[in-house]
Amino acid sequence: MTTTKTADVDGTLAQVYALRGAGADIVRITCNDVDAAKGLAEIVPRSPVPIIADIHFQYRLALAAIEAGVAGLRLNPGNIRKEDQIKTVALAAGEAGIPIRVGVNAGSLDKDLLDKYGAPVPQALVDSALKEIRYLEDVDFFDIKISVKHSHVPSMVESYRLLADVVEYPLHLGVTEAGPPPGGLIKSVAGIGTLLLEGIGDTIRFSLTADPVEEAKAGRQLLEYLGLRERTGLDLIACPSCGRAEVDVIKVAADAQAALEAENLPIQVAVMGCVVNGPGEAREADIGIAAGRKKGHLFIKGEVVRVVPEHEMVDALLEEARLLAEEGVEARLAARDEDAAKIAMEEAIELRGIQGDANRAEEKKAAVAEVAGE
């Protein structure tokens, strides 16, 4: 959702384009006064993504947003409560062929439901949504999406589970008022991720107290990490570092991430602190580098292709990542330094003798053989 004043058309459009660049497929914009509605009339035809108008209190602004050409509406049942007004909006939306999201929020729940339940408990949120849906269905409007957002993660999860059991409409997921990162990110991932893994949810929003571009970026990454969206950006994996590390893994990983993100390459990159287990543990990565004996062992799909000086690790990783994106895995494996794997193996064996094998492979194999009676 944009944070600009909607009447500031150029500023709002700039943010919409930034959100699109960060991975947003849909953008919600407030329509809180007449000037905002006028702004939408200019924004909508110039937007790279569908625009949803966020409506509170004044139903006529929903009608104005429809006239401005928005792709959908979000109505809050907690602050537009008159049945005739809701139905008027639904009729207009149906005529325009656009959907309505029934956006229930724990912080603005209908007073009658608060009195009934004593607090914004999950069932209260679901009841609010069902009441609003009935108004829409009464006028034969069924192009509906629903959200039941709560700032308390367990309540949010339970609300959506209850709702998913009683409706077949698509659901929009979010932990409302999640707050600034890192806490807001953790709350959002916990709530949204849990539901997505259960097969619940059709669209998502991270509600962070931060630049909305960070919301879009986090949402995109979550979907990619869960395998629900094709990777479009960098996925950097790195060991957490330990006493076995031969370099400052935290610094190398941060430098690598900064350099590679600027390239916007849709690849998985690994940064490992030692060569004893690094290439093996990160063998599924497209490309990676592991440190050892003042050198960086550059590997592709677990196979070492180059050995470079330690101070060139990030530069070498960036260079090879570019070549990998251009030429593909097979071509880069074919172009590997034939001595690299041998050097890497010798240094791994040497370090294993000094530091020990974290996986204790040889010891375990000997024990297994003994048990098996060899």
H-only helix segments in 6-149: 9-22, 34-43, 59-68, 83-96, 111-117, 122-138
- Residue 264 — very low, low, confident or very high, per pLDDT cuts 50/70/90? confident
Q: Which two tokens stand for residue 334?
A: 């074919």
Beta strand 172-173 pairing with 295-300? unpaired
pLDDT > 80? residue 278 = no
Q: List the structure tokens of 350.
A: 């040497």
Please report, for the chain, the start and end positions of each structural domain, with discontinuous segments joined by +: 9-225, 235-355
Beta bridge partners of 105: 149
- The pair phi, psi for residue 190, each rounded to 5°, is -60, -45
Q: What is the pTM of this model?
A: 0.86
HSE-CB for 163 with a 13 A CA cutoff: 33
Q: Which residues of 72-99 are buried (b: 16+ CB within 10 A; e: fewer)?
A: bbbbbbbebbeeebbbbbbebbbebebb
Please give the pLDDT value at position 232: 85
Superfamily the domain 235-355 falls into = Sulfite Reductase Hemoprotein, domain 1 (3.30.413.10)
Of 44-48, 128-132, 369-373, where does mean pLDDT reach its minimum?
369-373
CA distances (Å), origin 258, targets 225, 262, 310, 360: 19, 6, 18, 35
Residue written as tokens 């094709």? 230
Question: What is the arithmetic mean of pLDDT over 284-313?
Answer: 89
At 245 the three-state DSSP class reads coil
Instruction: Work out whether the CA dihedral 147, 152, 157, 159 comes out positive or negative.
Output: negative
Report which of residues 28 and 278 the model is more confident about: 28
State the fold for domain 9-225: TIM Barrel (3.20.20)
